[in-house]
Amino acid sequence: MSTPLRPDDPKRIGPYHLHGRLGSGGMGRVYLGSSPGGHTVAVKVIHLDLADDPGFRTRFVAEVAAARKVGGFYTAQVTAADTAADPPWLATAYIPGPSLHEAVENHGPLPTESVAALGAGLAEGLTAIHACGIVHRDLKPANVLLAADGPRVIDFGIARALDATSHTRTSTIMGTAGFIAPEQVRGRAVGPACDVFALGCMLAYAATGRSPFGEGPIEAVVYRVVHESPDLEGMPPDLTDLIEECLEKDPEERPGLDHILNRLAPLAGPAGGFAEGRWLPSAVTEIITERRTKVLTQAVEEPPKAKAASKKPPAQKAKAAPKKPPAQKSKSTPEKKAAAGAKPAPAAKKAPTPSAPASKKAASNDSDSGFLMLAGAAAVVAALLYINVPEFALWVSEGVNNGADEIAVDDCIAQLSDEGFVEVPCWSAAGEFKAVGSPTVDPLADLGTPAGCELTQTIVATENGNMCLEPVEDSDS
């Protein structure tokens, strides 16, 4: 989970308000942030020393372009990026769950069904990555997050696009010892089979709690990767044969992702258990629930607009409490005068039985007026919440118009959890992205461009075709 921001941390990056630190690595720091529409994201900010290196910045531009091509459910979607900023940054959907490394280190190996579900989800995610001409090349337990509805592949900071602008080099080993393929160690060209090898290593780690090539100095580990057989002792029998196939030294001998998916899906149970959110041990599921709840609570409590809106109901209650008793007392004043002896006959005439229905009618009018006043107050509060509180606006919009399959230019949308979109009014608090036009190229036809959209834009598939999106603040400027 995130830790508090430090004094030297930024409070805002691009359109995102930052709430805390998620971690740091060789490329930069990762922050927990929220968009203007209330969507939670992970924002990676590049280290200043790297940002000052022209060669690195050029490579980062290519990496972002590659990452934006990737779709699929089992990957953390890139929502926005600014490669020209100082420092440059990249934002992806936030997954409120532990990494595979964290789950295994703290709670031990996963059961067979969980490992099978994990492998099936990752095989599907890698299929989406490879379909865009990309090889991840740094697939490891720390780069896989566990969500209630399945795993997610994250951190494309090492991925390269296999096109003319690619930075894939045979002279450089990029990856993590113990989870890199022999061809990476040898500095040879890599392809999708490289990720299959890493997938086999991760499944062995998930099932046994250790790397199949052991630990120790990097030189010793990579030697075992190239020359020795993997240690699969303790592997569930149903998974052993498939893992051995994935860990073949020759990439041509490794199975394809479709074969892996077909082998693992039956072991994972119906829908991999993802639909019910029961594919992981209870201890890990509790961590996911706790983090998701904390993020939702934080999102509701922190934004200033949400706090301002919460003060409106008391003000409405003050208006909805008219002082009717004094008005009734004023009507009884003539009767009191009559009782005192002033004009007794008229006083008797003013107290006939028809006055009772009149008082009932007045009470009925007062009741109707009070109801209308309360209804009006409720409508005002609802409107204020819709305009100022992103979570409320998103909830209403999702119920009224669930989906953005027919989104057109100038329509606004908001992203739901970590996948899917819903159309919302551009003026509402939930308005997050605005459709600005269609991509200039087919995302899969021209691998040298970021799906035909600008690098600061994101893309969504609709019934009208792919659409380029910009943050609402930027599109209105």
Stated length of the chain:
477
Name the phi and psi angles at 88, rounded to 5: -70, 155
Give the residue from 27, 62, 94, 56 showing the smallest Cα distance to 449.
Answer: 62
294 appears as a binding residue in the annotation: no
Whether 236 contacts 92, CB under 8 Å? no
CA-angle at 106, arms to 218 and 24, nearest 5°: 60
CA-angle at 288, arms to 287 and 292, nearest 5°: 120
Burial class (CB in 10 A: 0-12, 13-18, 19+), 193: buried
Question: Does residue 442 carry a catalytic annotation?
Answer: no
Contacts of 57 (CB under 8 A, 6+ apart): 50, 51, 83, 88
**CB atoms near residue 227 (< 10 Å):** 10
The dihedral over CA atoms of 70, 73, 76, 77, expressed in degrees to the nearest 10, equals 50
Task: Show the tokens assigned to 460.
Answer: 């969504």
Give the residue from 120, 99, 454, 144 showing the smallest Cα distance to 284.
Answer: 99
31-52 burial by CB neighbour count: b if 16+ within 10 A, else e?
bbbbbbbbbbbbbbbbbeebbe
Whether 211 contacts 179, CB under 8 Å? yes
Spell out the alpha helix ranges (H) of 311-462.
312-319, 324-331, 333-339, 344-349, 355-388, 390-400
Considering 49, 86, 138, 250, which one is annotated as catalytic?
A: 138
107-139 burial by CB neighbour count: b if 16+ within 10 A, else e?
bebbebbbbbbbbbbbbbbbbbbbebbbbbbbb
The dihedral over CA atoms of 251, 253, 258, 259, expressed in degrees to the nearest 10, equals -150
Task: Show the tokens assigned to 182.
Answer: 């022999």
- Taking phi first (over 0 means left), then psi (-120 to 50 degrees means alpha), and beta for anything else, what does residue 282 get? alpha
Helix (H) or strand (E) holding 67: helix 54-67
The C-alpha atoms of residue 432 and residue 325 are separated, in whole angstroms, by: 50
- Kindly list the catalytic residues: 138
Residue numbers in the known binding site for ATP are: 44
Residue numbers in the known binding site are: 44
